[in-house]
Structures are given as structure tokens and as C-alpha cells.
A and B are shown apart, each in its own frame.
Chain A
Amino acid sequence: MLDTQSDEGYITADGRKIGGVAMEMRNITLRFGGVVAIKDISFDIRWGEIRAIIGPNGAGKSSMLNVISGFYHPQEGEVIYKGYKRPKMKPYQVARQGIARTFQNIALFEGMSVLDNIMTGRMHHMKANMLQQALWWGRASREEDENREQVEKIIDFLEIQHIRKTPVARLPYGLKKRVELARALAAEPSILLLDEPMAGMNVEEKEDMCRFILDVNDEFGTTTVLIEHDMGVVMDLSDRVVVMDYGKKIGDGTPDEVRGNEDVIRAYLGVSHD
């Protein structure tokens, strides 16, 4: 075990229990050639909390998420997950460790039905080998049935029963976002990464999505890391917020703390130059 500040967590104002540190980013620096996308950033994510990452466009938020999900490998710094330093690994191995995500531009599998998309999210729970699958025998058919049941629970939860057999390509944007959340949830992740889950939605869809994010956190206790531009949403939803600007961390704390932070105000609102 590496040394993390392992206090036991706390209870939020609305009675949810926040646990110890789930993941800690230590001095992460990410460069693309000469461009520094993330500069020496450290922060932690606690079990059960909703952690937001905000910042203006190009601040490096999505890059940060890509570092967490193993798609980018930072040149410096380390990721501590569940108390151990995470070695350099491929994205699918990271996913296998219980980190699921959605994407800024919807990345569903367009040629497949909603049901198949969500079932794909459960692939780590299906262990039948190729021969069993080819003969549809023993484990293969049993697993398909069991996992279908789990998937149906998620479909119920996100209220997408009516489209379960529809090809994804035919769905409107808002529903696609919801299906993508369903696919990520199907993996039963320890940490759920949401990259702008509300981008491009109308008010009603945004409210729905907020409700789902809160419900997921409530019901399954899923630790959620969220990138979002809508300040109102972020301040309402999250327990703690990291603020980034030009690849640097300029603020970290509860929504109220962040709101009062002068650097944050400067980055978002600008200040007069007199």
C-alpha cells in the first residue's frame, strides 16, 4: 500500500456517505510534442462522491479524463488507484479494473441495437470461452440470460424500455446520451467517468440526466467524475470540484469554495485591467 491520506471520509449534508480516497492523481504532466496539455496536477477522488472537473475550453479536462481511463499516458506523475500505483496499461485493461466512461461526442456502436450496446458494456462479466459460445452450450447461454437480467434492470432504471430493440443509429441525440450512460453503468463500474453528459441537451433533457446521475450515485454508490460546462448543473450536482485552466489546476474544493476563489473568477469572468 502506498501512503495516501487515508482518513475515513465524511457524511454530506444530504446524508450520503463519502469514503476514503479511491483514486489519486499525483503530479500528472501530459505533453503532446511541445504542447503541455496538463501541467503538474494533483487531486484525489473519494469513494462515493461526485467529483466535477470544470474549466474553459482547451483547459485539459478531457485529457485528464483520458489519463484516468488509460487512453493517454502521462509523461510524469502517477495514478494511484485503490491504494496501488497503476502501472502503464492499455485502455481495455483499465476498463477491466472497473473504470467505465461516456464520451463527449457520443461513441455508441451505431450498427447495433440499444440492447446489444448495453450488453457490450457487460462483457467483463461474461467468461464463456469461444467453443462454448460457438456451441451455445453451458456457460455461454446461461451467462447471456443472467446478464440480460442485469441489463434489463439498468434499462428500467434509465427508462429506456421502449427503445431496447431499436438500432442506435435511429435514436435522437438525448436518448443516445442516455444509452451511452446505460452502457457505462452495465459494466458495474467502481468509478464512472462522464465527459460532458449534458452537452447539447435542452433543459428538460438536462434535468433528466441530472436526476439519473444523482440516482445512480444514490442507488449504487457509484463514484462519479464529471466534466461539464453548465455551471448551474456542476454546482448543484457535485460534492467537490477541480477547476482547470490552461492545463493547470487553479481551484479545488466544494462548490462554494470554488465559487469564491479569485483565480476561478478570473478564468471564467475575466477581471478589469485598471
Chain B
Amino acid sequence: MLYREAGDFKTSYVADSQTFPIKFDRFGYYAILAIAFLGIPLVINDYWANSIVVPFLIYTIAALGLNILIGYCGQLSLGTGAFMAVGAYGSYKLMTAFPELNIIFVIIAAGVITAGVGVLFGLPSLRIKGFYLAVATLAAQFFLIWLFTRQAWFYNYSPTGMISAPTREVFGFPVTGPRASAVSMYMICLCFLVASAWLARNLTRGTLGRQWMAIRDMDIAAEIIGVNPLMAKLTAFAVSSFLIGISGALLFTVYLGAAEAGEAFGIDKSFLVLFMVIIGGLGSIFGAFAGAAFLIVGPVMLKLLLVNTLGWPTDLAAHLEIMIIGALILVFLIVEPHGIAALWRTIKEKLRLWPFPY
């Protein structure tokens, strides 16, 4: 009965086109923000931060980025892992070259570098589409990883070939390196995620987002009614890579602390983020959150359930976990091919009429 549009009259176009037109949703959104910023920091501990929350936040940023490229602009990419690596190595080089630079600017700058690299590898999209483009972006994946593992300049000639993040502070709290606390790791990732989601929402609701979707839905018609395909595709690659770069930089500096390109940013990362986007829902900001939650939080929850609650042996649980997640993915895609976001939309539409659908 609470979930209604009736009686909630919009008197301006601004009010009509806001992100959460239904009051209940709006309050829900504020409540979630309040819990995320004020509630969770009080209770979070190292285990929850490291196993669930921080990777969830970081991968959501990557999924947001890839969703802009695939879900909004319709350009298939398999280079996500490599673009995350660009963000990671970019932030590493910046951190070691300019130790005085604040980590926040380092991460943003790493995103900008990745945006540049993304545009470069996005150039083939002007000529080829669909699966062929996916194969072309695969070239980025293999080339960049080769570059980062073979060219010693990128890892500052360290004998192990690894990069490791030195300690950096924000407002006196260390957020990277071994001394970083769970709360500070959580807070920096959360801030970047909220900013990224807000950015992505703004870009997709405006004229640029509509041009991306026009290219996605019918590129020739889009060009004839006035969309410059070069601009639309390359801006999508730039924004997408920017977010993916930020996610890669956070993954390395805040979460992993030390990384090696081939291991941390291999093609399995590209697929992981791609699955998040597909399962979550293409062309939806919420979908990025849902997909990342499903693939990051899901396995951990399952492990907790099987090992801690039911007392099964760890190795058996680990195998079962993979099978169950795989089966769930299939079920989800059969029940709702357009992802969790579409399922959520359907539920909300039903809820608006509940309990008297006629």
C-alpha cells in the first residue's frame, strides 16, 4: 500500500524525470545511503571487509563501467581485465613517481590514463561490431598483459615482477598498504562507488546517454538522425574505461596491496565482470550492483551456509559452491534473460498494483 505513484503529483519536468519517481523508492535510497555511510563502518571487521564488502564495491565500479560500454552503447568488450590492469599499473607508477600526491588524485588520474588507453583500443569499433569487436578487444587483453609482465619499466624493475602499493593516507587514515584498517578501506571504496554510480547515472540519463543507446539500438538510423558515431562510441569507451581504470586502481592499491598483471588481471577478470553485467542486467545502473552482488557476495554466502552452518568439509563445499553458482546463473538467465534488473523492474511493477491488481 505504500508503494504508489497515485497522489504523488509531479508539477515540473525535473520532478518527473528524477531517478526515483516513487516516494518509497526515494526513501529507500536515502536509507541505504545512510546505512552504507553511517551504519556499516561501525560494525565492519577485517573478515567482512576483505571477503565481501570491499571486493563487492570495487567490482561494482568495474561493472558500471562495462555496462556503459555493453549495456548502453552496445559495444562488446573482453578487455576489462587489461583495462583494470592499466588502472592498477597507472596508479602504481604515479604513486612511486609522485609520493606526495594524494591517493585520491592518483586513482582519478589512473582512471584518466585508462580512459585514454580505452579510446585507443576502442578505435576498431568504428569499423567492426559485435563478436568481431569482442575479438579485437581481446587483443587489448593479451597485448596489455604482455606489456605489463614483460616490460620491467612498468613494475619499476622489481626482481619479483610484482607491484606493491606503499602506504598512503587520506585525512591521516592509511587507506593503502598493510596498516590500512577495514573501515578506511571500506570508506574510500564506497566514496568512489557512490561517485561513479552518480556519474554513470547522470551520463546515461542525458543527451550523451541517449546517443549511446541510439547507437546500440540502431546505429545506421542513429547516424542519419544526427548522432556522430565516432563521438558516441569513443566517449562510451572513454567513460567505460575511466570507471574500469578506477576499479583496477582500487583493486590493486586498496584491496590486493600487491599484484602481478597476468595473475590479478587475466582474462578470467574480463569474463567475471562481463557475467556481472549480463546477469545484473544490460543497460541498467542497478544491474551493475545486482550482478556484482550475485557473483561476489553469492559464493561467500554459500560457503558460510555450507561450511559454517551445515558443517560440510571445506573442499566439498568449494566444489559445490561453483556448481550451485553455475546452476543459479542458468536459472536466472532462463527465468529472466534481461538480468536481475529486469526481474526487479517486474516486481516493482507488480508491487505498484498490489494487492489489488485489477
Which residues of A line the B interface, CB within 8 A? 69-71, 90-92, 95-96, 100-101, 103, 107-112, 116, 119-124, 126, 128, 130, 133-136, 140-141, 143-145, 148-149, 152, 183-184, 187
Known A145-B14, A187-B225; 12 more pairs at CB < 8 Å: A91-B224, A92-B224, A101-B224, A109-B217, A116-B213, A120-B227, A123-B226, A136-B205, A141-B14, A143-B207, A152-B13, A187-B226
Q: Give bound CA distance, A123 to B225, whole Å.
A: 9
Of B210, B211, B216, B224, most A-chain CB atoms within 10 Å = B224
Is A123's CB under 8 angstroms from B210's CB? Answer: yes
Is B226's CB under 8 angstroms from A133's CB? Answer: no
Interface pairs (17), CB distance under 8 Å: A69-B224, A70-B224, A71-B224, A90-B228, A91-B226, A92-B226, A108-B217, A109-B217, A109-B218, A111-B217, A122-B207, A123-B210, A126-B206, A126-B207, A136-B206, A140-B206, A183-B225
Q: B258 interface residue, CB < 8 Å from A?
A: no
Shortest Cβ gap from A114 to chain B (Å): 12
Q: Give bound CA distance, A103 to B223, whole Å.
A: 13
Mark B171-192 against chain A: 1 for CB-CB distance below 8 A, else 0: 0000000000000000000000
Mark B25-68 against chain A: 1 for CB-CB distance below 8 A, else 0: 00000000000000000000000000000000000000000000
Shortest Cβ gap from A163 to chain B (Å): 15
Q: Which residue of B lies closest to A152 (CB)?
A: B13
Interface residues of A, dominant DSSP? helix
Which residue in A92, A101, A144, A149 is a CB contact (below 8 Å) of B227? A92
Which residue in B17, B220, B222, B226 is a CB contact (below 8 Å) of A124? B226
Q: Which residue of A lies closest to B204 (CB)?
A: A133
Set of chain A residues within 8 Å of B220, measured between Cβ atoms:
107
Q: A111 with B207: in contact, given A124-B226, A134-B199 (CB under 8 Å)?
A: no
Which residue in A71, A124, A135, A148 is a CB contact (below 8 Å) of B202? A135
Q: Which of B128-143 contact A (CB under 8 A)?
A: none
Interface residues of B, dominant DSSP? helix
Set of chain A residues within 8 Å of B206, measured between Cβ atoms:
126, 128, 133, 136, 140, 144
Q: Which residue of B lies closest to A123 (CB)?
A: B207
Of A69, A92, A116, A126, most B-chain CB atoms within 10 Å = A92
Q: Which of B206-243 contact A (CB under 8 A)?
A: 206-208, 210-211, 213-214, 216-218, 220-229, 235, 239
Q: Give bound CA distance, A105 to B92, whole Å.
A: 52
Set of chain B residues within 8 Å of A69, measured between Cβ atoms:
224
Shortest Cβ gap from B216 to chain A (Å): 7
Set of chain B residues within 8 Å of A144, measured between Cβ atoms:
13, 17, 205-207
Set of chain A residues within 8 Å of B205, measured between Cβ atoms:
136, 144
Set of chain B residues within 8 Å of A112, measured between Cβ atoms:
210, 213-214, 217
Q: B283 interface residue, CB < 8 Å from A?
A: yes
Is B14's CB under 8 angstroms from A107's CB? Answer: no
Q: Give bound CA distance, A92 to B224, whole Å.
A: 5
Q: Give bound CA distance, A174 to B100, whole Å.
A: 64
Q: B325 interface residue, CB < 8 Å from A?
A: no
Q: B318 interface residue, CB < 8 Å from A?
A: no
Set of chain A residues within 8 Å of B216, measured between Cβ atoms:
109, 111
Shortest Cβ gap from B227 to chain A (Å): 6
Is B226's CB under 8 angstroms from A110's CB? Answer: no
Q: B267 interface residue, CB < 8 Å from A?
A: no
Q: B317 interface residue, CB < 8 Å from A?
A: no
Q: A120 with B210: in contact, given A134-B199, A136-B202 (CB under 8 Å)?
A: yes
Q: B329 interface residue, CB < 8 Å from A?
A: no
Q: B203 interface residue, CB < 8 Å from A?
A: yes
Shortest Cβ gap from A57 to chain B (Å): 22
Set of chain B residues within 8 Å of A187, measured between Cβ atoms:
225-226
Set of chain B residues within 8 Å of A101, measured between Cβ atoms:
224-225
Which residue in B210, B221, B227 is a CB contact (below 8 Å) of A116? B210
Is B207's CB under 8 angstroms from A95's CB? Answer: no
Q: Give bound CA distance, A274 to B301, whole Å.
A: 88
Q: A123 with B221: in contact, given A130-B235, A152-B13 (CB under 8 Å)?
A: no
